[in-house]
Chain A
Amino acid sequence: MSGPVQAALAGDPVLAAHYADFRAKAEGALDPALAALVRQAVAQVHGMEAAPIDDSALDEGTCACLAYARRMPFEHTAISDAEAAALVTHLGEPGFVAFSVVTALADAECRAALVDLPGLAGA
């Protein structure tokens, strides 16, 4: 598991390990395929290189998750109670908590990559 934050923390192995563990625990609480799709969808919103997602090949619940994830980067305050409730129904409360953390972290990591955090930190 890697990413811009993990790379930037190369000089502090203890903090890097804590971060890696947190990221792994969050993603590990979701279906691995969904976690990967969330990262992919958020990266696309940021205009980063990511393979396109064929939403037509996905089930309704996964599509709803990705639609929600795509709003996290620039529209997080506009997400409605109804949109959130639909995801809670689909994922369950524990799943929705993990999904919220993973999606928000994916957005923040894309932003860290876009400012070249590893380069700034000399990694």
Chain B
Amino acid sequence: MSTIPRVSSAIAGEPAHFGSVLAHQPEIAESFFALYGRFWGSDVLPARIKEVARMRNARITECGFCRNVRFDKAVAQGLGEDVVDDITDGYESSGRLTDTEKAVLKFTDALIHDPELLTGDARAALQRHLSPAQIAEAGLGVTLFLALAKALITMGLEPEVMDRTVLPTPAVLEAAE
């Protein structure tokens, strides 16, 4: 895994990071940020649950950038570091994660690692804890988290060193609506 950017920044004066590299394709960038803002702005599935899935994806895909970023909306909904620390193998026995979050973590593992994990009880638990609309949103989220983490890693955009960073949650840009 490379921490040397494999693509240059398309924004003068900025280092290569996901946004500045995606700027090589302005139409893709604009569409992505509109989608991502809409996704995080929707409260069909709470931001805390989305962030739990994003954290799990970050750990499995080994995306250091994703692993160190926190979105403020999820933090405000109680996703503290003690909870995040439990999003590791053995999360099933966590006393801090809710049953809904554990069901979403199993779904996340199944989607990004092994679909066989989502058979029988795990599938039933997911459908018991989440509505169809929430499952659709969770599926969109995990799909995007996984794809973006892999794109970021393969473009060499992994930071060598990065502190934990709380960022504003992506939001819908007024001009995009």
A residues neighboring B (CB under 8 Å): 4-5, 8-12, 14-15, 18-19, 21-22, 25-26, 28-29, 72, 76-77, 79-81, 84-85, 88, 93-94, 96-98, 100-101, 103-105, 107-109, 111-112, 114-115, 117, 120-123
Would you call B69 an interface residue if the criterion is a C-beta within 8 Å of the partner chain's C-beta atoms?
Answer: no
- Which residues of B (99-151) have their CB < 8 Å from a CB of A? 107, 110-112, 115, 118, 123, 126-127, 132-133, 135-137, 139-140, 142-144, 146-148, 150-151
A121 with B133: in contact, given A15-B39, A25-B27, A101-B147 (CB under 8 Å)?
yes
Contact across chains for A76 and B140 when beta carbons are under 8 A apart = no
- Which residues of B (1-17) have their CB < 8 Å from a CB of A? 1-2, 4, 6-8, 10
Contact across chains for A19 and B6 when beta carbons are under 8 A apart = no
Would you call B34 an interface residue if the criterion is a C-beta within 8 Å of the partner chain's C-beta atoms?
Answer: yes
- 6 A–B pairs (Cβ distance < 8 Å), ordered by A: A5-B140, A12-B42, A12-B136, A15-B38, A107-B146, A108-B150
Contact across chains for B31 and A84 when beta carbons are under 8 A apart = no
Contact across chains for A100 and B155 when beta carbons are under 8 A apart = yes
A80 to B24, CA, bound (A): 22
Would you call B169 an interface residue if the criterion is a C-beta within 8 Å of the partner chain's C-beta atoms?
Answer: no
Write the nearest CB–CB distance from A49 to chain B, whole angstroms: 15
Write the nearest CB–CB distance from B156 to chain A, whole angstroms: 7
In the complex, the 8 A-B pairs of residues with the closest C-beta atoms, listed nearest first: A122-B132, A121-B136, A104-B147, A104-B150, A18-B35, A94-B24, A114-B115, A108-B147
Contact across chains for A120 and B139 when beta carbons are under 8 A apart = yes
A18 with B34: in contact, given A84-B6, A100-B155 (CB under 8 Å)?
yes
Which one of A28, A84, A108, A117 contacts B154 once the chains associate, using CB atoms below 8 Å?
A: A84
The number of chain B residues with a CB under 8 A from chain A is 52
Would you call B28 an interface residue if the criterion is a C-beta within 8 Å of the partner chain's C-beta atoms?
Answer: yes
Would you call B86 an interface residue if the criterion is a C-beta within 8 Å of the partner chain's C-beta atoms?
Answer: no
A110 to B61, CA, bound (A): 16
Residue of A nearest to B41 (CB): A15
Would you call B62 an interface residue if the criterion is a C-beta within 8 Å of the partner chain's C-beta atoms?
Answer: yes
A116 to B127, CA, bound (A): 13
Name 8 extra pairs, CB < 8 A, besides A12-B133, A29-B28, A120-B135: A22-B34, A76-B61, A84-B6, A96-B7, A108-B146, A112-B142, A114-B111, A115-B139
A45 to B105, CA, bound (A): 24
A9 with B136: in contact, given A84-B156, A97-B155, A120-B123 (CB under 8 Å)?
yes
Q: Which residues of A contact B150 (CB under 8 A)?
A: 72, 76, 104, 107-108
A94 with B25: in contact, given A108-B147, A120-B127 (CB under 8 Å)?
yes
Contact across chains for B137 and A81 when beta carbons are under 8 A apart = no
Contact across chains for B31 and A109 when beta carbons are under 8 A apart = no
Contact across chains for A81 and B25 when beta carbons are under 8 A apart = no
Would you call B47 an interface residue if the criterion is a C-beta within 8 Å of the partner chain's C-beta atoms?
Answer: no
